[in-house]
Amino acid sequence: MSAPKFSESNMRGKTLAPPGSKLVLAEWEAAGSPDGERRYEAPLHRHTEDEAWYVLEGTLAVRIGDEEVEVPAGGAAIVPGGTVHTYRNPRPEPARYLLVMGAKTNALIGAIHGAADRSPGAMRRLFEEHDAELLE
């Protein structure tokens, strides 16, 4: 079986998760914050899997526990499993990044995007079903 092939041109906006893999790679974009408002890409949460961001363009601010670190293009941040975290784009221009996550985290993200009920209670239950905890 040959390994999946990808390049920047066909990875942009997509997720690479070969069947049976416990590791998922996604390339995403975070819109800018032109008004300076803190717009988080995910609610404050924790899960059992490690997660990492590699910034391709722009800047991300990653909250790891009680600390927030700014990650410029060419930089990375890693959050160990079990650590409270979230992230945002602190700049007005978009940020493009690679997100490396476990299969459970990817399944949670898919479930969130597909959920018809996004009430706080429904979201908490959804996180719990995916071995994660919603903290906000």
What's the CATH number where 72 sits? Answer: 2.60.120.10
Instruction: Provide mean pLDDT across the span 96-118.
Output: 94
pTM score of the predicted model: 0.85
Per the domain annotation, does 75 fall within a domain? Answer: yes
Per the domain annotation, does 82 fall within a domain? Answer: yes
The per-residue pLDDT for range 55-93, each reduced to its tens digit, is 999 999 999 999 999 999 999 999 999 999 999 999 999
Per the domain annotation, does 19 fall within a domain? Answer: no
Question: Please, are residues 18 and 6 in contact by the beta-carbon 8 Å criterion?
Answer: no
Per the domain annotation, does 1 fall within a domain? Answer: no
Structural domains of the chain, count: 1
Domain that holds residue 119: 28-134
Per the domain annotation, does 20 fall within a domain? Answer: no
Q: How far is CA 27 from CA 4, 9, 48, 64, 100, in A?
A: 15, 11, 22, 21, 9
What pLDDT score was predicted for residue 9? 44
What pLDDT score was predicted for residue 12? 62
Per the domain annotation, does 59 fall within a domain? Answer: yes
